[in-house]
Amino acid sequence: MEAKLRELKETFPGRESQIDQLYSFFGYKDEPFPPSVYIYGGPSTGKSTVVTALLHCLEIRYAVVNMVECYNPRILFESILNQLSGHEIDPKIGTPYARCDNFMDFCNHLQTIGDNIDLSESVVLIDKAEELRSMEQLLPAFLRFDELTDIPITVIFLSDIVFEKYYYKLNVVEPIKMHFPQYSKEELSTILAMDFDYVRTLIDNEFEFGPDFYRNYLNVFLSVFYRVCRDLSELRHMSRINFVKYCEPVINKRHKPEDVMALWRHISPILKNSLEVLYLRVSSNSETKLLTSVAHNIELPFYAKYLLIAAYLASYNPTKDDKRLFMKLHGKKVKTKTDVKKKSKVSEQLNTQMGPKPFTFDRLLAIFYSILDDKVGFNNHILVQISSLVRLQLLSQVSDTYALDGRKYKCNVNFECIQSVAKMVGFNIRKYLSDFSHM
């Protein structure tokens, strides 16, 4: 078992302490499993992958359900029953193990399964557990799952938010809590370096390179992307498509593989342009064409265009400049040395070249109403249009869905795209950007 545990740690670098802690919960057969464990951390921090890999390694029977897919209790209950019983659904008929409409029926069916299969020390893994807040009383029931079913089944909750955000005022049983922190820059470099065999298939066979060449590229890549994005899935996607461009001068024999500075000068502007299409998942060949014509391809409503403009301004302007840029009677501003230095800013220091920053929902609305000539009241149509921009991936939400007051977003479009949208509504975008307003 020690060999398997060591292999597991090598497979998931940066998660050694979490694997040890999980092993202390489930690795000793002569000790009872904990009733419930709550694991939280940001997206792409390895929560579900590490837990399922450990359970599989320990040969523990488990069921995995995603609360986004199981959007009502019946689907949730039936999915757990199917997996714990080993029931295979006929794709033509789709009949579950048993129809289950409430928690009492669910417990009865589990006890029936337990008569034929040993369910002691089994695990139910609930991913996106924050969605349980919309299903009344299910969270307290799952926290006391072993008592209600009379079977020692552990429930593991996986979530992006801390447990305190569930706001349950009842005396619920507190689960054991574990945190999966964001990966450090060194850990991300180690994880991405594991893609070495895959990226070799993306490059022409005439160019042979070793792990050190790929490591040098990752150092350059993370020096640009790490300050903007910590999401491993997005970083892996962007690192792969940009590595092909990084190798082009070597393949064309314009530079040698060991000429690190020349390769850096070649890839640096490309990486900075790639920041503007982060999270959009567009192909490298079509990204520029797509982004500059997105406003023409997608028929955005009038207010949605202004909301997108407001989102771009909120993402690329410092908060301290809002009063000067958007308030008419902001008072006289005394010119300082900082203002003089702004005129000599190099392009690498411009906010529009450093990637989008998150902004709050309140700040988005404040800028929206400031730049909009028409005085429209706040209503549900505004909220729907913001949701539509998120679904179209023109905005990305970077906070908890249920925290309406503290909800945060990022703008995903580049300057060329927002300039095109601004021209449609006759809005001078440069006048309201900190990078250009002093010119």
**pLDDT top residue among 3 and 154:** 154
**Same-domain check for residues 6 and 24:** yes
What is the length of the chain? 439
Give the mean model confidence (pLDDT) for residues 82-108: 79
Predicted confidence (pLDDT) at residue 340 exceeds the cutoff of 90: no
What counts of helices (H) and strands (E) characterise the chain? Answer: 20, 8
Predicted confidence (pLDDT) at residue 76 exceeds the cutoff of 60: yes
Within a domain: residue 288? no
3-state secondary structure of 16: helix
User: Which pLDDT value is given to residue 178?
Assistant: 95
Tokens of 321: 């400049």
Instruction: In whole angstroms, give the CA distance from residue 41 to residue 46.
Output: 9
Predicted confidence (pLDDT) at residue 243 exceeds the cutoff of 50: yes
Candidate from 108-117, 133-142, 323-332 with smallest mean pLDDT? 323-332
pLDDT in tens, 190-236: 999 999 999 988 886 667 888 999 999 999 999 999 988 888 988 99
Instruction: In whole angstroms, give the CA distance from residue 324 to residue 322.
Output: 6
Within a domain: residue 341? yes
The residue among 164, 180, 196 that closes a domain is 180
**Same-domain check for residues 10 and 144:** yes
CB-CB neighbours of 271 under 10 Å: 20
**Same-domain check for residues 369 and 351:** yes
Within a domain: residue 50? yes
**pLDDT top residue among 181 and 287:** 181
**Same-domain check for residues 173 and 195:** no
- DSSP states of 272-298: HHHGGGTTT---TTTHHHHHHTHHHHS
User: For the whole model, what pTM was predicted?
Assistant: 0.69
User: Which pLDDT value is given to residue 284?
Assistant: 47
* Average pLDDT over all residues of the chain: 83
Predicted confidence (pLDDT) at residue 22 exceeds the cutoff of 90: yes
Residues of the chain with pLDDT > 70, as a percent, come to 83
Predicted confidence (pLDDT) at residue 92 exceeds the cutoff of 50: yes
**Same-domain check for residues 380 and 414:** yes
Q: Which of these, 95, 96, 9, lies nearest to 46 by C-alpha position?
A: 9
Within a domain: residue 437? no
Q: pLDDT-derived band of residue 33, with 50, 70 and 90 as boundaries? A: very high
Within a domain: residue 287? no
Within a domain: residue 85? yes
Predicted confidence (pLDDT) at residue 248 exceeds the cutoff of 70: yes
User: Which pLDDT value is given to residue 401?
Assistant: 61
User: 346, exposed or middle or buried, with CB in 10 Å at 0-12, 13-18, 19+?
Assistant: exposed
User: Which pLDDT value is given to residue 346?
Assistant: 47
User: Which pLDDT value is given to residue 380?
Assistant: 74
pLDDT in tens, 250-283: 888 888 888 989 999 999 989 988 887 777 665 5
**Same-domain check for residues 49 and 122:** yes
User: Which pLDDT value is given to residue 325?
Assistant: 84
Candidate from 101-110, 218-227, 323-332 with smallest mean pLDDT? 323-332
Predicted confidence (pLDDT) at residue 157 exceeds the cutoff of 90: yes
Q: What letter does residue 348 receive in the DSSP assignment?
A: G
**Same-domain check for residues 72 and 164:** yes
Q: pLDDT-derived band of residue 347, with 50, 70 and 90 as boundaries? A: very low
- DSSP states of 245-269: HHHHHHHTTSS-TT-HHHHHHHHHH
Q: How far apart are the first and last CA of the chain?
A: 66
What residue type is assigned to position 80 of the chain?
I
The residue among 129, 161, 180 that closes a domain is 180
**Same-domain check for residues 39 and 100:** yes
Within a domain: residue 149? yes
User: Which pLDDT value is given to residue 153?
Assistant: 92
CB-CB neighbours of 261 under 10 Å: 8
**Same-domain check for residues 302 and 356:** yes
Give the mean model confidence (pLDDT) for residues 27-32: 86
User: Which pLDDT value is given to residue 400?
Assistant: 66
**Same-domain check for residues 13 and 161:** yes
Within a domain: residue 283? no
Total number of domains in the chain: 3
Predicted confidence (pLDDT) at residue 344 exceeds the cutoff of 60: no
**Same-domain check for residues 161 and 117:** yes
User: Which pLDDT value is given to residue 353?
Assistant: 62
**Same-domain check for residues 356 and 410:** yes
Tokens of 138: 């299910």
Domain of residue 52 covers 2-180
CATH of the domain at 54: 3.40.50.300
Mention every residue, 6+ apart, whose C-beta is less than 8 A from residue 389: 304, 307, 308, 311, 395
The residue among 219, 246, 278 that closes a domain is 278
Instruction: In whole angstroms, give the CA distance from residue 314 to residue 360.
Output: 9
pLDDT in tens, 286-322: 554 554 455 455 678 888 899 999 999 999 998 888 8
User: Which pLDDT value is given to residue 155?
Assistant: 95
